[in-house]
Amino acid sequence: KRLISLCVGCGNQIHDQYILRVSPDLEWHAACLKCAECNQYLDETCTCFVRDGKTYCKRDYIRLYGIKCAKCSIGFSKNDFVMRARAKVYHIECFRCVACSR
């Protein structure tokens, strides 16, 4: 016998034919799974990210938690070349000497 699942979004039991399972232990009604920032519905057409039990669309997750340049604080695109210096990451054009800007 199947256990009754509770929706993380609304707290009610899920009796739907389909349950959206995000992460190993978060289950949702299809109508309740939304981005915690922009409220966009997250379904099979949208990548879903989880952090601290909250779900995010890709755009908001990267904006909030993505790696940003240590100089300009702007995120990186997939085509950017970067320079790593210890724990910091820079755009190539941002990686300059603080004394002479070379």
pLDDT digits (tens, 9 = 90+) for 45-102: 777 898 988 899 999 998 899 899 999 999 888 889 999 999 999 999 999 988 898 8
| 22-38 average pLDDT score | 86
Higher local confidence (pLDDT), 57 or 1 = 57
Confidence of residue 2 (pLDDT cuts 50, 70, 90): low
At 52 the pLDDT is: 87
- The β-bridge relationship of strands 48-51 and 26-28 is unpaired
The answer to whether 54 touches 61, Cβ cutoff 8 Å, is no
Q: Hey, what amino acid is at 14?
A: I
Does pTM surpass 0.75? Answer: no
